[in-house]
Structures are given as C-alpha cells and as structure tokens.
Amino acid sequence: MIDLIGYGAFFLTTALIFSLVTLGLNLQWGLTGLFNVGLAGFVAIGAYTSALLTTPDDPARLGGFGLPILIGWAGAMVVGGIAAALTGMATLRLRSDYLAITTFGVAVVVQLVALNAQKLTGGPFGIGFIPRPFGSLAETPLLFNLSNLAVVCAVALVAYLALEHLSRSPWGRVLKALREDERAAISLGKSARFYRVQAFAVGGAIMALAGALQAHFTGFIAPDNYLPILTFQVWVMLIVGGSGSNLGAVIGSILVWAIWAGSGTLTSMLFAPEQQARAASLQIVAIGVMLCVILLIRPNGLFGDMPRRPRLGKRAKAVAAKSGSGS
C-alpha cells in the first residue's frame, strides 16, 4: 500500500512537471498559434541553467555556484525566456513554418551543446549532485516523494492560475485576437510581432522552469533526457487535452503520461529484456498514430477551444484559399 502511494506520488510528480511544459506550449500554440517543435531545447536550457547555478563547485566544468534552489529556478526562467525571445524575434515576422524549422534547429543545437561542451554541461555524462528540495528526507522515500509532489503541485497550480488570469486579461485577449484574425487585430493598433514575441518568451520561460523542476527532482541530468521524443510527447499531451485550454493541458498531460507509463510497464512485462528497445519504439509508433488520428477526427481534443469550430470552418477555408492565392 505504502509502495503504491509512493509510486502514485512519483507518477503524479512527473505528470505535473510534464503538464507545466504543456502549459507553456499551450500559451505559445493554444493561445497564440505559435508552432514550437523544439520545446525539448527550452526544457533542457532550464534544466542546465538551474543545475549550473545550484550544484556545488566542480573543477571539471564551469561553475557549480552552489546557489539556493529558488535562484536556480529563477535563473532557468530568465535564460529560457531570453532564448525563446531571441528565437521569436528572428522568425516571427516571417511565415509560421519558419518558426517551426527554427525551433527544431534550436533543439538540435541545444542537444549538441549539451553533448559536446563538456566544460559547460558535463558532456554525455551530464550533471549530477543537483540539490534536491527536501534532500534530507531522502531516507524515507514516501515522505520525500510526497513533499516533492507538494512542491511540484504548488508550482503547477501557481502557473495554472497565472496563465488562466493572463488568458482572460487584456493581454490574453490580444493574443487570441491575433490568432483568430490577425488583420483585424493589427488594424486595432496591436503590434502582432511584439505580442507574439512576448507570448513565446513567457512560454519558453515556463518550459525552462519545468526543466529545472525535473532536474531538481531527479538530481541528475544528461543530454538523453531532452531528445525530440520529449517534444513529441508534450505535443500529444496538448492535442489530447485540447489546445487553448489550460485545464485540458493539465489533464491531457496526466492522461497521456498514464498511457505512456502504463504501456511502458506492459511492454516490459510482455517482452523479453533483449526485445524491449524494439518494443519501446512500437510505443512511439502507437503514440504517433494517435496524434495523427486525433488531428483528423477530433482536432479540438478533450477541452479545446481552438479556432477550428465548425462555424469558422468556412471562413478559415476562404482565408486559406486567399492566402494560397498569394495575399
């Protein structure tokens, strides 16, 4: 029973960290319509920044500044936000696809830096000894897991409430207006690029915070944690939950993580150890097909309020045809 509670707490902590990333993505995509396929890169930036700031001094690489954990988290948000703002500034005046390609590139480059800049990131071996909140409780795993869960819950709740507030604020309404009808919003005197860069930066900062949380939760990070599969998982979480809805983002994350973890346990039970790497790739196939099927059948997900409502369908088509004709 105690084991079950412990596992439940562990599961929920991971799921809620995922939901924080998904909330960041929801701000970028769901609310503003910005397509980020390199979010693993921003999560990694947050994790590494916080790890560098808070770990004890390490002669093998730069830093290990031994700062408090909260400063690490704040640093992660700042650096993640700046990275996202720079990416946005480079691409947001261009077609939306260019942002997708550039974020994809950001993730590739972050992965390269994590692997090769040994002086900064510890290279393939990663960074260990990241201080864990309540590390002193590690003797009693249950208490440790529960207190971690409480911290992550609190952070996720704050982020959720803040984002709910933001999306109802005038700022959020501008973003929605830009998403629904860019020309009308611009004609009302709103600078599309300025608002989008802001939304993209805030989203990036939230993703970085999630990366930092994860790093301090596990105490160890390595480049392998931030492969494109992470990006993909979070996208599926958002689409399943329904883009545009913060509640959907949280629930989608927990749901998809449950499916993911459950199917992982299932494959480890069903397949022989030497076949498990192959079985794991089958898991990805299943999730990939799921993403495509949801996009085809129910693009709004469970709770979505994206502009793909039927009554707008006609107009969207007309707009697409017009822009296709070269507007």
**Chain residues that interact with another protein, rule: CB under 8 A:** 33, 35, 37, 90-91, 94-98, 100-102, 104-106, 108-109, 112, 115-116, 228-229, 232, 235-236, 239, 277-279, 281-285, 287-289, 291-292, 295-296, 299, 308, 313, 316-317, 319-322, 324-327
Handedness of CA 109, 111, 112, 113 (dihedral sign): positive
Write down the residue that tokens 């089958």 correspond to.
282
CB 203 within 8 A of CB 25: yes
Helix (H) or strand (E) holding 271: none
For residues 170 and 326, which CB has a smaller minimum distance to another protein in the complex? Answer: 326
Q: What angle do CA 179, 92, 209 make, to 5 degrees?
A: 85
For residues 35 and 171, which CB has a smaller minimum distance to another protein in the complex? Answer: 35
Q: 287-292: which pairs have CB atoms within 8 A and are 24 or more residues apart?
A: 287/232, 287/233, 287/236, 287/256, 287/259, 287/260, 288/232, 290/236, 290/240, 291/232, 291/235, 291/236, 291/239
Structure tokens given for 93: 């005046």
For residues 71 and 316, which CB has a smaller minimum distance to another protein in the complex? Answer: 316
CB 301 within 8 A of CB 293: no
Helix (H, G, I), strand (E, B) or coil at 131: coil
Q: How far is the CB of 28 from another protein (least distance, A)?
A: 12
Q: How far is the CB of 162 from another protein (least distance, A)?
A: 26
For residues 119 and 317, which CB has a smaller minimum distance to another protein in the complex? Answer: 317
Closest CA to 77 of 104, 106, 47, 99: 47
In sequence order, the β-bridge partners of residue 10 are none
For residues 91 and 214, which CB has a smaller minimum distance to another protein in the complex? Answer: 91
221 φ, ψ (degrees, to nearest 5):
-130, 150
Note the Cα 28 to chain centre separation in Å.
10
127 φ, ψ (degrees, to nearest 5):
-120, 130
Q: What angle do CA 304, 309, 314 make, to 5 degrees?
A: 155
